[in-house]
Structure 1
Amino acid sequence: MSEKTERKRGRAWGVAVWCAMITAVLGGLPWAASGRLPERLATHWGAGSGGPDGSMPLWAAAFFPALIWLVLALLIVALGRWREAATSDPVMRGRSVAGLFSGGALLVGAQASIVRVNLDHTDWRQADSVSLWAVGTLGVAAMAGLAEWTVARRGGAAASPVVASGPSMEIPPGERFVWLSRTTNPWLHWIGALAGLVALAAAPVAVSGLVNVPWAVVAPFATVSVAAFSCASAQARVTEKGLSVAFGPLGWPVRHWPAQHIESARAEDRTPAQVGGWGYRLSGLGTTVMLRSGECLVVHPRRGREFAVSVDDAERGAALLNALSAQHGR
C-alpha cells in the first residue's frame, strides 16, 4: 500500500471516529442528565431580555442536534471531495476537515451549554442565561477549525517537494533547491488521539455540570495528548539557508541550523535502546528525535552537541548539507 493510500485511509478513519463521537455526545448528553432536567428544555433565548423564549421536549433536544450534525458532516465531506477533485488542491480538503472540527466543537459546546443552564430546574422558563457559554463555545470552535486548517495547509505545501539529486553533489552557484523528509510514529499518534478523546469527552461533561469532573482530571489527558502529538512526527528540510527540523502536526516548534554553522552531516542507524527511548531524547550521543529504529540524519554543528532525527533518505540530506558546508568553507 502506498503512502498516499495510507494517508487517505487514516484520514477517513479519523473523520469517521470524529463524526461518531460528536453524534454520541450530542444525542447522549441530555439523556444522561434527564434525571436533573425539566420535561422541556430551554433551547432559545431572546436577544432583548436575555431570558429563554423557546423550548423543546428532551427527546427533541437530543435528537435534532445529532441529526443536524450528521447532515452537516455529510455535506461538508461531500463538498470537500468535490472541490478537491475539481481543483486538485489539497488545501480544499483542509478546509472541509477544518469545517468538521469547528462545526463539531460548536454543536457540542452549544449542547453542553443548554444542558448546563437547564440543570436542576423544574421549568424551562427558569433556565439561566447562556450568553457566557455561547462566547466560550464560539472561541473553542474557531480555534479548533484554525488549528486543523493550518495542519492541512502545511501537509499540502509539503506534498510535492523538489529533491536534490545524488548522495554527493556539486551545487551550482545561485541554484535554489529544497530537500524534505518526514517521519511519523503511529503509536505516539494513537496515544495522543486516545488521550485527546478522553479530554474531549470529559470537557463537555464538566461544562454541562452533569458530573462533577474537576478540570485537574481533564488537564492531564489534554497535556498528554499535546505532548504525544508534538513528538509523534518530525520533518527535516534542507535549503540553501541550512537545516530546519519541525515537530508535530502544526510544524512547530522548529529547530534551525544555518549552513555556515554545520561542520558535517552523516546518515547513521540508531535504535531506541541506544538513545534511551522514543521521542525527544538526550543521551551521550547528543540529542536524538527517535521516531523509529534505523536511518537517522545526524548533524555535527561547529558548536554544541550532535543532533539526530529519524528520517528517510538521510544520506541524501547529509550529502546536501556537506556540500553547503563546503561552499561556506571555501
Structure 2
Amino acid sequence: MNGGGNRKRGVWWSAAAWTAGVPAALVALPLAAAGRLPDEVATHWGAGGRPDDSMPFWAVPLAPAGIWVVMVLALALTVRRAGPAARSWSGAALLSGGVLLTGAQASIVHANLDRTSWTDAGSVGPEVVAILAASALAGLLGRLAGRRATPPPSATGADGTAVGPQLDFPAGERFAWLSRTVNPWLQLTATLVGLAAAGTAIAATAGLAVPLWAVALPLAVAAVAMFACSSVQALVTPKGLEVAFGPAGWPVRRWPLDTIESARAEKRTPAQVGGWGYRLSGLGTTVMLRGGDCLVVRSRKGTDFAVSVDDAERGAALLNSLATRHSAR
C-alpha cells in the first residue's frame, strides 16, 4: 500500500535527520565557544556540586559524538537482529539518548563558559533534573509513536478474515476498517524545524547567544504542528469514525454513528483545498497529505470532513452500512 511506503520513507528521513543532527550539535556547541572555554574543561561534578574531573578541550566535542555513534550502531544491529519488534524501542532510545547527550553538552559548556580554569566551573545541579526529565519525556514520546505502527490498510471481521466488496455482513458481527497515510516531506520539514528550534534553545541555554526564546518557541510550535499534520490514521468501527493525527496518534477527532449523515470517497487535490496539512476551504475541512482519494464524511449538521487515506471507498461503504444499521435500531 502507498500509505505504508510513505510512512517508511517518512520515518527513515526523520531518523536520518535526527541521527545526523545530534552529533552536529554535540560538536558545534563547544567549538562555537572555543575562545571562551579553558584548555581543560570540567566534565564531572561531585556530590557537593563542585567539579572533580575534566578532559582536554579537544575531547569535549569528540567524546559524546563517539558515544552517539556507538549507540546508533548498536541500535541498528539490534533492530536488524530482532526485527520490527525492536523498532519502537530503538526510536525511543534514539530520542531519549539524543536529548540526554545534547542537554549534558549544553550544561557542560555553560558551566565552563568564561572560566579561567576547570576548577572554577559553575555547578550543574538544577540542569541535571531538567535534562533527565526532558530525556524521559522524549523516550516516552518515541515509544508512543512506535506503538502507532499498524498493519497495511484493510477491513477485517471478528475472525480476522478480509472483507470483500460485499459489506452486507451478518447481524452481531463486528467489523473494522483501518487506513493510514504519511507525508514524508512534511515529516522531514518538521524534523528540520524542530532541530532548528532545539539548536536555538540549546545555544541560548549554554550562554553562547542572547536568549532567543522569541525565535525558539515559534519554531518549536511550528514543528509540533507540522508533525501533527504529517500523518493521519482513519479507523471505522461499530462506534463510528475515529481520525488520529501525528506519530503518537494525538489529537483525535471522533464521529459517533448517530452524528453521521453519509460517507463517500472523493478525489481531491492540494490545489482544490488550499495546500497541504489541515485545510479549511469551500469544500469543508480536509486533511490533505497526498492528492487522490479521500474519505469524506458529512455530519448531520451539514458540514464535510475529508481525510486523504487509501481504500477510502471501502471505508465509506462500511461506515454507511454501520450508520444505516445504527439508525434502524
TM-score, with structure 1 as normaliser: 0.91
Q: Which residue of 1 aligns with 2:159?
A: none
1:172 aligned counterpart, secondary structure: coil
Q: Which residue of 2 aligns with 1:142?
A: 136
Q: Which residue of 2 aligns with 1:70?
A: 69
1:277 aligned counterpart, secondary structure: coil
Q: Which residue of 1 aligns with 2:291?
A: 293
| Aligned residue identity for 2:183 | N
Q: Which residue of 1 aligns with 2:99?
A: 105
Aligned match for 2:151, one of 140, 154, 159: 159
Alignment RMSD = 2.0
Would you say the 8 A contact 1:298–1:307 is kept in 2? yes
Q: Which residue of 1 aligns with 2:22?
A: 22
Please report how far the alpha carbon of residue 36 of structure 1 lies from its aligned counterpart in structure 2 after TM superposition: 0.6
In structure 1, C-alpha distance between the alignment counterparts of 2:56 and 2:224, rounded to whole Å: 39
Please report how far the alpha carbon of residue 18 of structure 1 lies from its aligned counterpart in structure 2 after TM superposition: 2.1
| Aligned residue identity for 1:35 | G
- Where does the alignment leave 5 or more consecutive residues of structure 2 unmatched? 157-162
Of 109-118 and 137-146, more deviation after overlay is shown by: 137-146
1:33 aligns with 2:33: yes
In structure 2, C-alpha distance between the alignment counterparts of 1:148 and 1:325, rounded to whole Å: 36
In structure 2, C-alpha distance between the alignment counterparts of 1:80 and 1:162, rounded to whole Å: 26
Matches within 5 A, 1:142-291: 142-155=136-149, 158-159=150-151, 163-164=155-156, 165-291=163-289
State the number of aligned residues: 322
Would you say the 8 A contact 1:91–1:153 is kept in 2? no
Are the structure 2 counterparts of residues 316 and 99 from structure 1 closer, same or farther at C-alpha, using a change threshold of 3 Å? same
Q: Which residue of 2 aligns with 1:87?
A: none
Please report how far the alpha carbon of residue 8 of structure 1 lies from its aligned counterpart in structure 2 after TM superposition: 4.6
Would you say the 8 A contact 2:154–2:179 is kept in 1? no
Please report how far the alpha carbon of residue 107 of structure 1 lies from its aligned counterpart in structure 2 after TM superposition: 0.7
| Aligned residue identity for 2:230 | A
Identical amino acids, percent of aligned pairs: 57
| Aligned residue identity for 1:232 | S
2:151 aligned counterpart, secondary structure: coil
2:174 aligned counterpart, secondary structure: coil
1:223-278 Cα distance to aligned partner (Å, 9 max, x none): 11111111122111101111111111111111111122222111112223333332
Please report how far the alpha carbon of residue 24 of structure 1 lies from its aligned counterpart in structure 2 after TM superposition: 2.0
Would you say the 8 A contact 2:3–2:180 is kept in 1? no
Of 100-109 and 212-221, more deviation after overlay is shown by: 212-221
In structure 1, C-alpha distance between the alignment counterparts of 2:5 and 2:289, rounded to whole Å: 21
TM-score, with structure 2 as normaliser: 0.91
In structure 1, C-alpha distance between the alignment counterparts of 2:193 and 2:249, rounded to whole Å: 20
In structure 1, C-alpha distance between the alignment counterparts of 2:7 and 2:285, rounded to whole Å: 29
In structure 1, C-alpha distance between the alignment counterparts of 2:6 and 2:183, rounded to whole Å: 14
Are the structure 2 counterparts of residues 14 and 185 from structure 1 closer, same or farther at C-alpha, using a change threshold of 3 Å? closer
Q: Which has the higher relative contact order, 1 or 2, with Cα contacts under 8 A spaced 6 or more apart?
A: 2
1:153-180 Cα distance to aligned partner (Å, 9 max, x none): 111xx22565143445212112122111
Q: Which residue of 1 aligns with 2:45?
A: 45
| Aligned residue identity for 2:24 | A
Would you say the 8 A contact 1:279–1:291 is kept in 2? yes
Q: Which residue of 1 aligns with 2:117?
A: 123
